[in-house]
Amino acid sequence: MDAVNIENLGKEYGSLKALSEVSMTIAEGAFFALLGPNGAGKSTLINILAGLTRATSGKAAVLGYDVRRQWRKSRYKLGVVPQELAYDPFFTVREMLTLQSGYFGLGAENRPWLDELIAALGLEDKVDSTMNHLSGGMKRRVLIAQALVHRPPVVILDEPTAGVDVALRRQLWDFIRGLNREGHTIILTTHYLEEAESMCEKIAILDRGRVIALAPKDELLNRYSWRQLRLQLTPESAVVFPSALEQKKEAAPEGELLLRLHREQDHIGEVLAALDQAGVRFSDLRIHEPGLTEVYTELTEAENHV
Amino acid sequence: MFNLYGLYILFAREVWRFLKVSIQTILTPVITVLLYLLIFSSIISASREMLPGVNYLTFLIPGLMVMAMLQNAFANSSSSLFQARMNGNVVFILLSPISDFEFYLAFVGASVVRGVLVGFGVWLAACFFALVPIRHPFYALILAFFCCGSLGALGLVSAIIADKWDHISAFQNFVIVPFSFLSGVFFSISDLPLFWQQASFYNPFFYFVDGFRYTCLGVSEVSVFTSLSVGAGFFVLSSSWALWLLHKGYNLRS
């Protein structure tokens, strides 16, 4: 059973195509990142899964339950942490959580779980405050607790760390990783690519409503075929390079040499030998392997130059 | 499948919300009506006979009760839903397993509770001026239900359609208030020129006021069954409108 199954999903707002022919499956228990520039359609996709937006074409299901035809069951399976810090100004944190759990049909029997959530998210001191008295980071935690009141097996977090300081961000990631270990499927969007790279196993990149990449992280990283070789030159080094290497040169500070090398075609040993022969001497060497940032930039920019 | 507990909690939330601000939602409307009573009963001779055997003060009170119910039932659902839309917290209801119909029942149910509470508050306060009997409590409850239910549904409609607070207050001030003032709360429609007399029969609020007056005093201008039928019809119409908008997801589910 897939946690999420999306087939040919499309959404149009008048003439604007927010999503076109988006298909993907997310396995149960996955830690999945949904990336893309602003306006790529990430939030539209999330809103369709949550039933807040209705797709124009195609279908989507959460744990096998169609989000339109079996909306009630699909909503029990899904918890969503929205991007905006929206809250109910009339109620305290505990009241909000109790009400939200009630909307899911859960009464007093769910109270121990709410207490557990409150403790896990460090909200004990704030349960009797209304949201307008809380800091941005605290509000974010309340929203996370609110999305989890009904113990949803699939959890979507739409930019959970936007505007959150470093310490809290680390806490939140620890908490989310813990959820994943307990078996929750985690789907998140973020603009911090290092975070997605360090935590997620599978990544989808959306751009202008289309899926431009959908692969396990390692595969995606391997797909990027360039790496950088940076040499710290010694004063006695030659400054004229073999012409074959000249075209691989990239702009570098004085006293350094920066080469952009192809993973497969450029053999590091051969490149170093050629440099040695030309009289290039260096005191230090570093190889920069590409990260998600490079892959992401290449993919999204390639799209934009079409 | 019906999410009965979810419906109950959403209804409880709506009632709890207006109780948390009960000075504004219960006390203020009761005081406002008391002021009307004070002013109108001192201008117009209280002993003037409006309907057979009914003096002005006694005539006025049931109408004021209905007017307070209408306006507060409308205010409750419209301001609650619109504020939730503007704050964005309406999404927490929309992404929970609560159907359009359950959503409608919870909001309209709370509007009925607030309307009836305010209506009762007006009755209590009016006891200082004149003791108005309620001769037909069963009909009174049914009419109060149709009246508050219709206006609760219209409150939902306006909260869904509106794009800014301005639109809500326009609906309130250009539709609800004029129709309730012109429904024969303060006068008997037989005192009106023929044209306005005829026009009153197209005002659904007139039937709520006249019918409710019957349930209290036992006298009215049209038959109480006409009032009950028009009230039921108006309730069905406004509810259908609200339910249709909810079903479409208009302005709620893009």
Rounded-to-integer distance, Cα B185 and Cα B213, Å = 9
Contacts of A144 in chain B (CB under 8 A): none
Please list the helix, strand and coil fractions of chain A in percent, rounded to the nearest 5, in that order: 40, 30, 35
Judge whether residue A305 has pLDDT over 60.
Answer: no
Whole-number mean pLDDT of chain A? 89
Q: Give the gap in angstroms from C-alpha A87 to the nearest C-alpha of chain B.
A: 5
* DSSP secondary structure code for residue A92 in this structure: B
Please state whether A298 falls in left (phi above 0), alpha (psi between -120 and 50) or beta: alpha
- Which of B10, B21, B96 best tests the A interface by mutation, with the highest count of A CBs <10 A? B96
Angle at A53 between CA A40 and CA A162, to 5 degrees: 50
Percent of chain A with pLDDT over 70: 98
Residue A5 has φ and ψ, to the nearest 5°, of: -135, 120
Closest Cβ–Cβ partner in A52, A89, A105 for B253: A52
Closest Cβ–Cβ partner in A53, A102, A105 for B253: A53
Radius of gyration of chain B (CA): 18
A95: pLDDT confidence band, cut at 50, 70 and 90? very high
Is A84 part of the contact surface with chain B (CB cutoff 8 Å)?
yes
- Which of B24, B89, B90, B252 best tests the A interface by mutation, with the highest count of A CBs <10 A? B89
Q: What is the pLDDT of residues B177-221, one digit of tens each?
A: 999 988 988 888 888 889 988 989 999 999 999 999 999 999 989
**Beta-carbon separation of A75 and B13 below 8 A:** no
Greater confidence (B195 vs A298) lies with: B195
CB pairs under 8 A between A and B: 82
**Beta-carbon separation of B10 and A104 below 8 A:** no
Angle at A214 between CA A170 and CA A205, to 5 degrees: 60
Judge whether residue A306 has pLDDT over 60.
Answer: no
Contacts of B16 in chain A (CB under 8 A): 90-91
ipTM of the complex, rounded to two decimals: 0.91
Is A72 part of the contact surface with chain B (CB cutoff 8 Å)?
yes
Q: What is the pLDDT of residues A23-35, one digit of tens each?
A: 999 999 999 999 9
A137: pLDDT confidence band, cut at 50, 70 and 90? confident
A222: pLDDT confidence band, cut at 50, 70 and 90? confident
Whole-number mean pLDDT of chain B? 93
Residue B173 pLDDT: 92
Q: Map residue B214 onto helix, strand or coil.
A: helix
Which residues of B touch chain A, with CB atoms under 8 Å apart? 1, 3-6, 8-10, 12-13, 16-17, 20-21, 83-84, 87-89, 91-99, 249, 253-254
CA of A91: which chain B residue's CA is closest? B17
Q: Give the gap in angstroms from C-alpha B10 to the nearest C-alpha of chain A.
A: 7
* Contact status, residue A161 vs residue A169, Cβ threshold 8 Å: yes
Contacts of A72 in chain B (CB under 8 A): 1, 3, 97, 99
Contacts of A82 in chain B (CB under 8 A): 88, 91
Mean pLDDT across A186-200: 88
Q: Where are the beta strands (DSSP E) in A86-225?
A: 154-158, 185-189, 202-207, 210-216
Rounded-to-integer distance, Cα B118 and Cα A258, Å = 79
